[in-house]
């Protein structure tokens, strides 16, 4: 087996590819282990970075809802009508212009998207396992 057999596109392999690399590390030499660990580190770093990015996008969306809720909670203690009007106006702006981060307008980047990707990958994995079992 060569090192090129484990090099896959970023969206393929995933955790299964990482586990396969770790299994193969037991039977290789030190130079091959070093190369495989580099690949494993790159793939894992990319997966962590994408997960972190999706979580940050989701946090941005949720923070706008928190700002709106805070504005309306603070209205009770205010006596000055000008300040009350400004806070109500700010809450309306934050609600209407709430940030929604998307990938070129195709889909929104948030926790829901991460769970959608995970469930799709699991579905395809099950289908591939079934095809593999039917070929035997």
Task: Domain ranges for the chain, please list them.
Answer: 3-135
Query: Rounded to whole angstroms, how far apart are CA atoms 6 and 19?
Result: 11
Query: Rounded to whole angstroms, how far apart are CA atoms 28 and 46?
Result: 25
Question: How high is the pLDDT of residue 1?
Answer: 45
Burial of residue 108 (number of CB atoms within 10 Å: 0-12, 13-18, 19+): middle
Q: Which residue has the tokens 């300040």?
A: 83
Q: How far apart are the first and last CA of the chain?
A: 22
Segment 103-124 mean pLDDT = 86
Q: Which residue has the tokens 């469930």?
A: 119
Segment 97-101 mean pLDDT = 85
Enter the pTM of the model. Answer: 0.56
Residue range 30-66, pLDDT digits in tens: 666 677 777 888 888 888 888 888 888 889 889 999 9
**What 3 state SS string does the chain have?**
CCHHHHCCCCCCCHHHHHHHHHHHHHHCCHHHHHHHHHHHHHHHHHHHHHHHHHHHHHHHHHHHHHHHHHHHHHHHHCCCHHHHHHHHHHHHHHHHCCCCCECCCCCECCHHHHHHHHHHHHHHHHHHHHHHHHHC
Considering Cα of 61, then 65, then 71, then 73, what sign does the dihedral take?
Answer: negative
């Amino acid at each position: 087996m060569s090192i090129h057999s484990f090099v896959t596109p970023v969206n393929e392999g995933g955790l299964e590819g990482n586990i396969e690399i770790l299994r193969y590390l037991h039977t290789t030499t030190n130079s091959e282990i070093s190369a495989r660990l580099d690949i494993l580190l790159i793939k894992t770093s990319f997966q962590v970075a994408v997960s972190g990015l999706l979580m940050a996008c989701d946090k941005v969306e949720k923070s706008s809802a928190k700002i709106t809720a805070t504005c309306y909670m603070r209205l009770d203690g205010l006596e000055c009508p000008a300040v009350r009007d400004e806070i109500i106006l700010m809450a309306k702006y934050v609600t209407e212009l709430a940030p929604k981060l998307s990938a070129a307008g195709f889909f929104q980047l948030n926790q829901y998207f991460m769970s959608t990707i995970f469930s799709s990958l699991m579905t395809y994995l099950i289908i591939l396992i079934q095809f593999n079992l039917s070929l035997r």
